[in-house]
Amino acid sequence: MIIATFYEASTCVTLCTSLVGVYENIRQKVFDPISQYKCRSCKSKRLKIVNDETTEDGIAKKLFLQCEECEEITEIVFEENDTSKSQYIKGIEQE
């Protein structure tokens, strides 16, 4: 029979906690629609959605992101991939 010491058990719990933290961080970045954008002026990633434009089906065509640091507004326009299915492939920053 193998008995783990307190140090080994503590290390195992710490590693499991770290693994869960990494997983949560990856999920947040994948499912956060604005995590890939940053402010053009100050390069901050602290952006919030202040407005949007949608189609009559409720699908977003544009997002307006405001920087929480310098309050610059960034416009993101989504390109349509296939008009019959209304799937979008990426958002492009407008200058």
Q: Please tell me the total count of domains within the chain.
A: 2
Cα separation of 49 and 38, whole Å? 12
For 37, other C-beta atoms within 10 Å of its C-beta total 16
**Whether the model pTM is above 0.75:** no
| Of 72, 14, 18, 16, nearest in space to 43 by CA | 72
Please indicate, yes or no, whether residues 43 and 80 belong to a single structural domain of this protein. yes
User: What sign results for the dihedral spanned by CA atoms 11, 13, 14, 20?
Assistant: positive
Q: Are residues 51 and 21 in the same domain?
A: no
86 shares a domain with 56? yes
**Percentage above 70 pLDDT, the chain:** 81
> Whole-angstrom Cα distance, residue 5 to residue 58?
57
- Residues 85, 42, single domain; the answer is yes
With bands split at pLDDT 50, 70 and 90, how would you rate the model's confidence at 14? very high
Indicate whether 40 and 68 sit together in one domain.
yes
pLDDT of residue 81: 63
Structural domain that includes position 25: 1-31
Domain match, 48 and 84 both: yes
